Amino acid sequence: MDQKIDFEAIDLTGPPPGQEPDRQYYFIARCRLWVREFLEKQGRLPRACVVNYGCQMNARDSEKLAGILKEIGYDLTESEEADFVIYNTCTVRDNANQKVYGRLGYLNGNKKKNPHMKIALCGCMMQEPSAVEKIKRSYGFVDLIFGTHNIFKLAELLDVCLRQDGMIIDLWEDTDQIVEALPVDRKYPFKSGVNIMFGCNNFCSYCIVPYVRGRERSRKPEDILKEIRSLVDQGVVEIMLLGQNVNSYGKNLPEPMTFAQLLTEVEGIRGLKRIRFMTSHPKDLSDQLIQVMQNSKKICRHLHLPLQSGSSRLLKLMNRHYDKEQYIALAQKIRKAIPDIAITTDIIVGFPGETEEDFKDTLDVVEKVQFENAFTFIYSKRTGTPAAAMADQVPPEVAHRRFDRLLSLVQETAKRRNALLVGTKQTVLAEEVNSHENGMLTGRMSNNALVHFNGPADLVGSLCAVRLTESKGFYYIGQYLQQEDEK
């Protein structure tokens, strides 16, 4: 939030405003009255717990939910024995849904002990009609359900929830609305995610995201730049630009702008030290973007470039719009232009119809590209996607064997590549005190690799010169040299 809102001065005697975000400010002020009454009766502030599942987009949404609750007056806690618990759900894989169902059973026990408790569910899983029907049928103690398109309405929905009993459901099928200037409670004071777009137009055959997050909607560049400048003024040194496919940013704006052009604008913000982004679709990664990254002093030397499969046949069935050779050529072009870049990826094992030859093609791409890290998944059938209805579903035991073989190769190639940096001096953003070893900090290099190094707690949030002394495969041990100002 750029401006400080005086919620005590908001007139609550009339109807709520029709325009956003003023409407939500009105309901934040109303909920603050309820908090005041709770404090007078209970002698304490009500406690709220926001539990996040899923991707960086969800994490950013959860910071917004927490910010609204904090502005209302809740005491934020990590304990689910709170007066208000909200799960921001993920539905990319079925096990994410099952995890939520399991936790709801636990919350039911807490609610029986706490008559003030309210339980809310939001996010991607709630955009699935079958999941909502199951909640209504088997988890009737849930008080509030809303989805991905109306996250900004938390205060308005909470106001209703606090003043009446029964399950409240507010789900939108889609939206073209982007609501700015709401409170945010960031996990880190020195780094932050920034949404540049919402939704996805790609319709990969295995993916539920376009159905639950809707069509692509790009934020205006001036709003993005304004938000980043405000964050820098608050002490943020690193931002991550977020979108389901950042490479298609700007196509639906009244005055189209490419992602590369946006990055160039962000680069010019004084005081900002590091720029990250997530996630890039290979089919939209332009030569212009590679050139901007190559010439940048602020864009981190890390690119997450999901492969999903090395088989051209399966990539076509996945609706990915590139083949094995095109992906390898793109990765090689990137490495040639930016030799110190780390390329990470996502890979699915066991997609319907995957043969041993298809799987060997995936292993071949891993060998040729030499990823610094790969997030590997066994295919999870998502009802409502084209892949769920495909014939030749791969037997679980076959998928698990292939998964183990892939993981072993990824570990081997990543270890080999990451070992090349041992002995070099690197700039590390110290992110937190290491919870496992006294006197150690944990941070990230420009290439996104984790480094554990010695140093005092007051270095957290600072850019530090660190010599890498040992590679542990996917992370490093380092020796702190000095604090530095990364130009």
pLDDT tens-digit series, residues 68-87: 999 999 999 999 999 999 99
Least confident piece of the model among 52-56, 130-134, 168-172, 318-322: 52-56
Give the model's pLDDT for residue 3: 65
Give the model's pLDDT for residue 474: 87
Evaluate whether 361 touches 311 at the Cβ level (below 8 Å): yes
Residue 243 CA to residue 178 CA, distance in Å, equals 14
Evaluate whether 186 touches 55 at the Cβ level (below 8 Å): no
Average pLDDT over residues 110-131: 94
State the CB neighbour count (10 A cutoff) for residue 476.
Answer: 25
Give the model's pLDDT for residue 252: 87
Give the model's pLDDT for residue 240: 97
Pairing of strands 274-278, 238-242: parallel
Kindly list the distances between the CA atom of residue 457 and the CA atoms of 97, 430, 432, 440, 443, in Å, as whole numbers in the listed order. Answer: 38, 9, 8, 8, 12
pLDDT tens digits along 141-150: 999 999 999 9
Give the model's pLDDT for residue 473: 86
**Maximum distance among all alpha carbons in the chain?**
69
Residue 192 CA to residue 186 CA, distance in Å, equals 7
Among 157, 162, 153, 185, residue whose Cα is nearest residue 76:
185
CA count, 13 A, side-chain hemisphere, 264: 11
Higher-confidence position of 3 and 126: 126
Residue 375 CA to residue 19 CA, distance in Å, equals 42
* φ/ψ of residue 173, rounded to 5: -70, -35
CA count, 13 A, side-chain hemisphere, 101: 15
Q: Which residue has tokens 């998928």?
A: 399
Evaluate whether 382 touches 206 at the Cβ level (below 8 Å): yes
Sheet with 191-195, side-by-side order of all strands:
191-195, 238-242, 274-278
Return the DSSP state at 220: P
Evaluate whether 179 touches 198 at the Cβ level (below 8 Å): no
Average pLDDT over the chain, rounded to an integer: 94
Average pLDDT over residues 409-424: 95
Average pLDDT over residues 241-250: 95
Residue 358 CA to residue 320 CA, distance in Å, equals 15
H-helix or E-strand containing 19?
none
Evaluate whether 285 touches 330 at the Cβ level (below 8 Å): yes
pLDDT-derived band at 485 (thresholds 50, 70, 90) equals low
Amino acid 123 reads G
pLDDT-derived band at 2 (thresholds 50, 70, 90) equals low
Beta bridge partners of 348: 377
Average pLDDT over residues 250-264: 95
Average pLDDT over residues 88-115: 91
Encoding tokens for residue 95?
């096990």
Sheet strands (E) in 118-167: 118-123, 144-146
Average pLDDT over residues 407-412: 96
State the CB neighbour count (10 A cutoff) for residue 257.
Answer: 16
pLDDT tens digits along 167-204: 999 999 888 888 988 999 999 999 999 999 999 999 99
Evaluate whether 54 touches 77 at the Cβ level (below 8 Å): no
Chain centre distance of CA 125: 15
On the question of pLDDT at 1 being above 70, the answer is no
The residues, any chain, with a CB within 8 Å of residue 63's CB and separated by 6 or more, are 184, 185, 186, 187, 193
Pairing of strands 197-198, 75-76: unpaired
Q: pTM for the complete prediction?
A: 0.91
What share of the chain in percent tops pLDDT 70? 99
On the question of pLDDT at 16 being above 90, the answer is yes
Give the model's pLDDT for residue 487: 40
Residue 18 CA to residue 9 CA, distance in Å, equals 18
Among 379, 483, 479, residue whose Cα is nearest residue 439:
479
Residue 354 CA to residue 18 CA, distance in Å, equals 52
Give the model's pLDDT for residue 11: 93
Residues counted in the chain: 487
Average pLDDT over residues 29-46: 97
Chain centre distance of CA 342: 19
Give the model's pLDDT for residue 60: 92
What share of the chain in percent tops pLDDT 90? 88
Amino acid 455 reads G
On the question of pLDDT at 486 being above 60, the answer is no
